[in-house]
Structure 1
């Protein structure tokens, strides 16, 4: 979404007066709500063949034409739509990302955020005052537990993660040499999106996907569809307690940031026991910068963790401390460039301390 306030950071663009800037921030929720509503109504899919009037769109989605017209003009304000000749509306390049068939569609992300973020954000004050998860306070259950209980939402979140993990996995495969390894153990690998991409890029590598029992049937279906099932086994385990032995490389991708330091310690201890003093551990995470302007995307990611989960994003120094306390020595950290500029994620390589 194009947030008008973001334009103030561009070279040559004059920042608005403080009153205007603050007014834009206060009203920022309108933009995310409008985008989520547009995604739920399928507006972008209806406009992919060309501009249409608000009356025509209202008839197609079963909405009030006057109310929808006002929403569509709001989407123009946020750069999602454009007003064209004849009072019709058309997609902008930004709006194209709400098409469900777009190569990097954000439609599922917009709907999932619309459905759960706003309710959780209402309880953000509770998090700041008492250190509790706003999501858990609002829903009376954990984030992943909720996804498993709400099938449609869980599937939508799964599609979001498939898209994001694909970019990171491709970056990992291009930057990290797996040729000396025979078996890769993906700890907390979910439905197998990340592991499948790595196995596709490394045909001599075998994989082991470790996750809770309810996740594995879906993972097996996905790995079969990806054509790597013959080289990949699945193991039911709780990574707080145990991780299967026998791997040359153990992978924790987007796992540690979900949890507080104590539970991260339990995960790392389980990995350390499984590794028996040999092999490599790869931690793939988004690293917090020392200063906000060095990586604004990581700050946004950390706010998402604050809202949805008990974990947080961390600096490299904080991950180094966690790993050292878990019996590992960090050997290097390799940034994965984002196709949109900046750093997408980082690969932290560590080895078990003898």
Structure 2
């Protein structure tokens, strides 16, 4: 019996090429990481560079670097002039420099760091055995606790959040009306960039930065003096009832559902307080800023972020209905959902019982 030979159609070849990139995507991410970690894009501040100059700048072996740089051609980070034997930085490659206005260097360095890269190599083990500390060093205590004695990585972590926030925050403060409030507390504020953006856009507001004491160890810029105060604490316990709006940006996804409910119950208690602010309870709001998981098969960034947070810290993204349910369990009612031009969602919660 004659066996027919499968035909390699154009569609099959296209799919093979796509799957090839899926299979070997770690090659791409690691070349990007090395390029960013060595700061090679910064070496081009004075123009095109030869191999020896780049090797010296990065403190690496020229013979090995030459082979790695070939990978950057395919990624459109560099080009090479055979006549002059010099490398040229592309427009896209310049986004991995430190001083680009929309730099992604810190993000590339962070995602390629061992503590974030290796846990993904344990995805199959996680599926079979569940989440275990041996698979991710940040699982038990979270990223900030793990990084507290690793200052360079910690700075990279905060710089990543800062650079991402510059674009996101502009869209959020333009697309959501914060002027309806008087005092805003940002819970899990990090370095405070989100709340500072809100204050910049709303001169009538006062703000409170709420986070762990170590996290709040930075100077508030002078232009916010008199409008912005630090309020150290633990959001699982007592949150001060000093505001009529409480914001949580990039906080919820760091925790499993049971911890999220406990956290929101703490916010709910703060919203019910009338000791420090006389705003009508019905007008107080908790504003959660996150990526929303789609209820259907719509493939969005949140899908990948959800897996990433699970693998690294046991966290989760949620669907709209899951947020509605979580809110109710914490004594809050979802009152409004706004998708900003950045793609991020603002979920407004009011007190369920007044």
Distance 1:259 1:95 in 2: 34
SS in 1 for 2:217: helix
C-alpha offsets along residues 207-240 of structure 1, whole Å, 9 cap, x if unaligned? 011111111222xx1x325x21321111121101
| 1:80 matches 2:84 | no
Q: Which runs of 5+ in 2 are unaligned?
A: 1-9, 273-280
Distance 2:153 2:221 in 1: 23
Matches within 5 A, 1:1-354: 16-86=13-83, 87-115=85-113, 116-132=115-131, 137-138=136-137, 141-218=141-218, 221=219, 223-224=220-221, 227-276=223-272, 277-278=281-282, 279-292=284-297, 294-338=298-342, 343=343, 345-354=344-353
Distance 1:257 1:58 in 2: 40
Contact 1:212 1:237 in 2 (8 A): yes
Q: Highest CA radius of gyration, 1 or 2?
A: 2
SS in 2 for 1:284: strand
CA distance change for structure 1 residues 243 and 65 in 2, over 3 Å: closer, same or farther? same
Contact 2:178 2:198 in 1 (8 A): no
Contact 2:253 2:316 in 1 (8 A): yes
Report deviation, 1:304.
2.0
Distance 2:303 2:22 in 1: 17
SS in 1 for 2:214: helix
Report deviation, 1:22.
2.7
Report deviation, 1:205.
0.3
SS in 2 for 1:337: coil
C-alpha offsets along residues 135-165 of structure 1, whole Å, 9 cap, x if unaligned? 8634675322112221111111111111112
Report deviation, 1:127.
2.2
TM-score of the pair, normalised by structure 1: 0.87
Contact 2:172 2:340 in 1 (8 A): yes
Distance 1:259 1:133 in 2: 15
Contact 1:186 1:208 in 2 (8 A): yes
Report deviation, 1:109.
1.2
Report deviation, 1:246.
2.4
CA distance change for structure 1 residues 138 and 267 in 2, over 3 Å: closer, same or farther? closer
Length, aligned pairs only:
332
Segment of structure 1 superposing worse, 109-118 or 198-207: 109-118
Contact 1:123 1:138 in 2 (8 A): no
CA distance change for structure 1 residues 246 and 58 in 2, over 3 Å: closer, same or farther? closer
SS in 2 for 1:22: helix
Segment of structure 1 superposing worse, 254-263 or 45-54: 45-54
Report deviation, 1:100.
0.4
Report deviation, 1:199.
0.9
Segment of structure 1 superposing worse, 48-57 or 65-74: 48-57
CA distance change for structure 1 residues 48 and 300 in 2, over 3 Å: closer, same or farther? farther
Q: Which runs of 5+ in 1 are unaligned?
A: 1-12
Distance 1:212 1:15 in 2: 53
Report deviation, 1:50.
2.7
Report deviation, 1:64.
1.9
TM-score of the pair, normalised by structure 2: 0.87
SS in 2 for 1:163: helix
C-alpha offsets along residues 49-76 of structure 1, whole Å, 9 cap, x if unaligned? 3322223322333322221111110111
> Once superposed, which parts of structure 1, at least 4 consecutive aligned residues long, lie more than 6 Å away?
none
Distance 1:149 1:260 in 2: 25
